[in-house]
Structure 1
Amino acid sequence: MHIAVLPEDRAHRFPQRPCLADERGTLDNAGFAARVRTAASALRARGVGQGDVVAVLLPNRLELVVALFAAWRLGAAVTPVNPELTPGEAAFQVADAGAKVVIGTGGSELITMQVSELAVAGEETEPAEPSETDLALLIYTSGTTGRPKGVMLDHANLRAMTEMIVAGLGLGEDDHSLLILPLFHVNGIVVSVLSPLLAGGRATIAGRFRAASFFALVERFRPTYFSAVPSIYALLAGLPDTVRPDTSSLRLAVCGAAPMPAELIRRVEERFGIAVVEGYGLSEGTCASTLNPVAGPRKPGTVGKPLPGQQVALMDPRGRLLTDGPGEVVVRGPNVMRGYLNRPDETAATIVDGWLHTGDVGRFDEDGYLVLVDRIKDMIIRGGENLYPKEIENVLHDHPAVLEAAVVGAPEPVLGEIPVATVTLYPGAIVSEAELLQHCRDRLTRIKVPARISVVPALPRNPVGKIDKPALRRELTATG
């Protein structure tokens, strides 16, 4: 099914079944379809049509999903804009995407259409003839190197990915997702909204994630699953021992965006009675390429097996496929992006002979599960020796006091780079740098032991919630 016709299809088959909610209201299928039609007519009145781009500058709320489907009804694409961006950053994305309108709230000069206008009906609009090749989403990368790039995903990408997620997670009409990830990121859109709706289920949109109130939302809305990133699970694992929520409605929790330490998975599963299903993918691959099987065996420390319909392989620097790793993880399938908007050279460097180059180093274990070794760009070269920060981070995570760990290379005049670690601790935990260094010496060869380990209250994060290693590197460079 073409994703754009999903609201009308659901309304026709089961008009009164619940569809979409946030903390302010609930829509059944008929109500959701009606809101999409109204919003589409409002966008049409603003001149939006086939091939245009609609920018949506909103926090997580029901209207953002309404705007998404309204634009698709007209044959337009959507670029979700992180509302936390500076005015200059947001203006760059809007201009780069060539947005026809910018939907938002408040008095920003960028906003050309208030979100309240989506509820004001204009002249009735006939839906555009849906095409799988129409551009659907422009998702902007976090921009850790240079300007962010617009990842072009068409409707064929979205349909393929949502069908893979529905099959991989075993989603059905009884499933109910609780969205806690930002809707400017493809994981939030695909895993927590499009996939449950395609499966006949429903979605509830939470506002900004707060660890202290998260389980109250679970108890209130009774979702069957949610998708999060490792930092969220770390915050949940760090809640006081007195927090003992009712999680009986949850049949699984999904983890993506960055590898989750096996020890953290164990703590979350044992403490909260939730099965954590870890996957792996990129925005350029429309979200996910591997997934640990829901029915098992799940293997913490891996990111699972390739999703059916995709090829996931390893490649050497000369472009040759490897039968044994480690090597760069490459992906091929109907989920691979169309390319980067107006960046033909970068597109050609990223997609070679149909293979999406991820920039991640990995290997397959004896059962065909993908193990991520590290990011190629995060590799530390110490006196000519290649060190992978993730290996060191995993050792630090094995210490019972360590909640999160990040290892980066610090400049060193003789060796080039040396590993330096920054960690956060579980609430109430006390540990010295000397103890952590000895913990590493007992488990790592000498050259892999961090030169120093800093204990901090919190680690810096990028807009998606990943640990911001470039910020840590800049801080090291600035301090010498």
Structure 2
Amino acid sequence: MNLQALPDRRAAADPTAPALADDGIALDNTGFLTAVRRASATLHGHGVGAGDVVAVKLPNTADLVVALFAAWRLGAAVTPVNPALVAAEIAYQVADAGAKALITDTVCEGVDCEIVPVGELLAGPGLDAAPVDPGPDALAMVIYTSGTTGQPKGVMLDHANLLAMCGMVIDALALDDTDHSLLVLPLFHVNGIVVSVLSPLLAGGRTTVAGRFDARTFFERIEKARPTYFSAVPTMYAMLAGLPSDVRPDTSSVRFGICGAAPASAGLLAAFEARYGIPIAEGYGLSEGTCASTLNPIAGHRKPGTVGLPLPGQRVRILGADGGDARAGESGEVVIAGPNIMRGYLNRPEATAATVIDGWLRTGDIGRLDEDGYLVLVDRAKDMIIRGGENIYPKEIETVVYQLPEIAEAAVVGRPDPVFGEEPILFVAPISGVILDSDRIHQHTRTGLAKYKLPVAITILGELPKNAVGKIDKPALRHLDAQTR
């Protein structure tokens, strides 16, 4: 089975079965194939072929899913672009990925490639050739995730990665042709793409793209679409659990929900399940591992406070300080191996070599395995902030702040937030003799960062605290923030 010909196989097997829907359209298998063929012909007309990369910057719609399959049909790879990024961030990703074309619904300035308006995508006659099969080792996706250097890195996933990951998800969730996912997570993340689109379609089921998440209307979508499952982040579950007590939806169609992307409290998940009757399975994974590596069993014992057992076909180890396996119950760095591990970071061989060692992915996360083999996450070795399921890397914000000539020192840390989990806050110190203006800093960050990355507070100090080796002491800054709130 491959992704390129999936629309053809579905249409041949059951032409009128539902495949893909959003707020505006509903496509059966034949309609899905027709849309993919038209989009493929349009991309081919813009010079896209095997080995190229297509950037896609769209909100959550069926068009985005069609664009994925249209690019794969030509033997091209896809790099999904977060629509919330500002112009400079979009231009960087498109250039770094070497994209041949950008599919978009907005004007994108500073982008040096073919621009394909989404309205043109499905306007072609659909006279494309048969799907190209470049092989399992061919690049399928480039997912961008920031690193500690502050420069977003392209995670290269090949077709073998995606198919292995989808097989694991289908197996772990027992998906079949009766399953129907309601997609509420963004389609520029692997979670949304793999768990809520590719896996159900490969299993013979279908997907409804719900668009932008709104807690006030979420259960109306559940009652209308009658999905069998959905995947969400802790912030979404917190919002839904906090709805007025008179909200009593019919959730009888839903077999389960999945929670990932950030740590969730056992109390939150228990409260959600008790109120709405939907079992929630918490999992863990990274883009570098194609999506997920552990999951609490849907049909087995779910352990609150853990992120579950390794998915079928994956191995999870805990490394001690000496680089060997940690002793039973001891904490250490979580490392993962399996056919889902990325090919590497695009154009960054050194970063790849430091991250994937002898086939094992160094996650940078600290955890331990309990007596039953369930993974318990203890801490993050990296300083990443997770705001409502979105990864924010302090170095990326700090790099933008350091563009201001009056800034001598800058440091970003996470502040706990009851709704979003964490929020970024910024500490700065001026060069000698300069008076800093927090409004000017706010204004500057708004031009260089997506809205969700903006610091919620700026604290100006004469000098930032340092540790014994002279580095900025971020634990001290977190402590300072806690004392002053």
Q: Report the TM-score range of the alignment, normalised by the length of the smaller protein.
A: 0.7 to 0.9
2:415 is aligned with 1:424:
no
Cα distance in 2, alignment partners of residues 474 and 89 from structure 1: 29
Match of 1:242 in 2: 246
Report the CA distance shift for 1:39/1:364 in structure 2 as closer, same or farther (over 3 A). same
Letter in 2 for 1:53: V
Report the CA distance shift for 1:300/1:376 in structure 2 as closer, same or farther (over 3 A). same
Cα distance in 2, alignment partners of residues 344 and 87 from structure 1: 27
Aligned residues of 1:142 and 1:464 also touching (Cα < 8 A): no
Letter in 2 for 1:118: L
Aligned residues of 1:55 and 1:103 also touching (Cα < 8 A): yes
Aligned residues of 2:21 and 2:62 also touching (Cα < 8 A): yes
Aligned residues of 1:328 and 1:358 also touching (Cα < 8 A): yes
The structural deviation recorded for 1:108 is: 2.6
2:107 is aligned with 1:104:
no
Match of 2:381 in 1: 376
1:24-103 matches, within 5 Å, as 24-103=24-103
Cα distance in 2, alignment partners of residues 360 and 228 from structure 1: 21
User: SS where residue 221 of structure 2 aligns?
Assistant: helix
Report the CA distance shift for 1:421/1:40 in structure 2 as closer, same or farther (over 3 A). closer
Match of 2:372 in 1: 367
Report the CA distance shift for 1:425/1:138 in structure 2 as closer, same or farther (over 3 A). closer
Report the CA distance shift for 1:420/1:225 in structure 2 as closer, same or farther (over 3 A). closer
User: SS where residue 141 of structure 1 aligns?
Assistant: strand
Report the CA distance shift for 1:37/1:425 in structure 2 as closer, same or farther (over 3 A). closer
Aligned residues of 1:142 and 1:463 also touching (Cα < 8 A): no
Instruction: Output the aligned Cα RMSD.
Output: 2.9
Comparing 141-150 and 349-358, the one that deviates more? 141-150
Report the CA distance shift for 1:420/1:62 in structure 2 as closer, same or farther (over 3 A). closer
2:296 is aligned with 1:292:
yes
Cα distance in 2, alignment partners of residues 224 and 311 from structure 1: 29
Cα distance in 2, alignment partners of residues 469 and 144 from structure 1: 21
- Select which of 95, 115, 119 maps to 1:116: 119
Letter in 2 for 1:230: P
Cα distance in 2, alignment partners of residues 186 and 215 from structure 1: 24
2:320 is aligned with 1:326:
no
* Superposed CA offset, 1:206-258 (max 9, x none): 11111111111111111000001111111111111121111111110001111
Cα distance in 2, alignment partners of residues 464 and 246 from structure 1: 35
User: SS where residue 47 of structure 1 aligns?
Assistant: coil
Aligned residues of 1:185 and 1:464 also touching (Cα < 8 A): no
Report the CA distance shift for 1:332/1:420 in structure 2 as closer, same or farther (over 3 A). closer
Report the CA distance shift for 1:45/1:319 in structure 2 as closer, same or farther (over 3 A). same
Match of 1:345 in 2: 350
- Select which of 190, 202, 208 maps to 2:194: 190
* Superposed CA offset, 1:57-95 (max 9, x none): 100000101010010011000000000001111111001
Match of 1:354 in 2: 359
Match of 2:212 in 1: 208
* Superposed CA offset, 1:243-286 (max 9, x none): 11111111100011112110111110001111001111000000
The structural deviation recorded for 1:117 is: 1.4
Match of 2:283 in 1: 279
Report the CA distance shift for 1:468/1:217 in structure 2 as closer, same or farther (over 3 A). farther
- Select which of 340, 360, 364 maps to 1:335: 340
What stretches of structure 1 of length at least 5 have no aligned partner? 380-388, 391-407, 409-416, 427-461
Report the CA distance shift for 1:468/1:225 in structure 2 as closer, same or farther (over 3 A). farther
Letter in 2 for 1:150: G
Aligned residues of 1:225 and 1:251 also touching (Cα < 8 A): yes
Match of 2:400 in 1: none
Cα distance in 2, alignment partners of residues 358 and 159 from structure 1: 21
Cα distance in 1, alignment partners of residues 346 and 129 from structure 2: 29
Match of 1:4 in 2: 4
* Length-normalised TM-score, structure 2: 0.79
User: SS where residue 4 of structure 2 aligns?
Assistant: helix
Aligned residues of 2:179 and 2:227 also touching (Cα < 8 A): yes
* Superposed CA offset, 1:27-48 (max 9, x none): 0011101111111111111000
Cα distance in 2, alignment partners of residues 130 and 74 from structure 1: 9
Match of 1:258 in 2: 262
The structural deviation recorded for 1:466 is: 11
Cα distance in 2, alignment partners of residues 469 and 37 from structure 1: 45
The structural deviation recorded for 1:364 is: 1.0
Cα distance in 2, alignment partners of residues 181 and 237 from structure 1: 18
User: SS where residue 215 of structure 1 aligns?
Assistant: helix
Cα distance in 2, alignment partners of residues 15 and 272 from structure 1: 35
Report the CA distance shift for 1:422/1:124 in structure 2 as closer, same or farther (over 3 A). closer
Comparing 352-361 and 240-249, the one that deviates more? 240-249
Cα distance in 2, alignment partners of residues 469 and 169 from structure 1: 38
2:7 is aligned with 1:17:
no
Report the CA distance shift for 1:358/1:464 in structure 2 as closer, same or farther (over 3 A). farther
* Length-normalised TM-score, structure 1: 0.80
User: SS where residue 302 of structure 2 aligns?
Assistant: coil
How many correspondences in the alignment?
A: 410
What stretches of structure 2 of length at least 5 have no aligned partner? 387-393, 395-410, 421-448, 460-473
The structural deviation recorded for 1:150 is: 0.4
The structural deviation recorded for 1:3 is: 1.7
Aligned residues of 1:258 and 1:466 also touching (Cα < 8 A): no
Match of 1:457 in 2: none
